[in-house]
Amino acid sequence: MDVQRLELLRELAERRSITAVARATHRTPSAVSQQLKVLEREAGLPLTERSGRGLILTDAGRALARSATDVAVALARANAVWDEFRNHATGEVSLVTFPTAGEMLLPGALRQIASVPGLVVNCTDKDPELSDFPALTADFDIVLAYSLRGQLPWGGRGLTVVPLMTEPLDVGLPADHRLAARAWIGPADVVGETWIGAPDGYPFERILHQIEQQGGGQALVAQRFADMRLIEAFVMAGLGIALVPRYTWGGDQPGKLVLKPLRGVDAERQIVALMRPDRAERLAVRTVVDVLRAEAERVQAEHTSATPPPSPTP
């Protein structure tokens, strides 16, 4: 079977439409359909079937698409072995990140990568809902994503997942707030406060629900924003309190905003790199991921050493 036709079937399994496959592979929809028909004749079994106005894979089609992934991984691994013999981590690597991770990790990482001849990293940012992160791996070599403890939104997707760091989520307060002098706070202390929240469906909303459950009340969410800098601005203006990532908040704001550890709920997020398994085999991609991991360790160690442990009583 032709490897390129197998790859088109794999793309259809992930992108779910001929039009999307055509757009991603720079072909016309009719050309994609023709190649899939040829593959079907080679396989001797129906690989797709009509569903409404579109196509879905048959059981045989899904099995062959999984085999196409295995073929892509094997080819990428073979190329990576050759690149290692040549010590040749060159080429372009595309990366997409959510904004706060990009601000925290990418400047330092790209400074290190600049010393690798021929390796180019093209970065962009998006701030999707949690469930949308895995889909970005179809178009980017590396996706920086995050989840809360106990959530696996990319489980069962066949993706390579590289943990980078764990980041606590604190409660951001105006500096003159009644709780600003406390070493830490619990759900009952803040459940009745006015909150500046994240959009519905974003992971931080789940932590706010835990605060309501543990605190025995309902949180009043006055505004919702995806941009953390905007959330921080509202907190500093005294318009509410918010969940704020400890390492990636806007920085030292003396007299304006303070962060307090939250006890009684799982208030932390796991930051990971997601990749298609064949792309994860590329030496250039592995080199970038190794640098990202080292930068994450540096950032986490820097913040841990600079933050004294909270006292045992509020």
Residue 124, pLDDT score:
94
Residue 130, pLDDT score:
59
Cα within 13 Å of Cα(68), Cβ side: 23
Residue 35, pLDDT score:
82
Q: Which CATH number fits domain 1-81: 3.40.980.10, 3.40.50.300, 1.10.10.10, 1.20.150.20?
A: 1.10.10.10
pTM (two decimals): 0.75
Q: Which amino acid is at 20?
A: A
Q: What is the CA radius of gyration of the chain?
A: 23
Residue 308, pLDDT score:
47
Beta strands of 17-136 (E only): which ranges?
Answer: 48-51, 54-57, 91-97, 119-125
Below-70 pLDDT ranges, the chain = 1, 78, 80-88, 128-131, 150, 153, 250-255, 306-314
**Which H/E stretch holds residue 243?**
strand 242-245
CA distance 111 to 188: 44
Residue 313, pLDDT score:
42
Closest CA to 273 of 183, 118, 162: 162
Where does the chain hold its CATH 3.40.190.290 domain(s)? 88-305
Architecture of the domain spanning 88-305: 3-Layer(aba) Sandwich (3.40)
Residue 107, pLDDT score:
96
Where does the chain hold its CATH 1.10.10.10 domain(s)? 1-81
DSSP 259: E
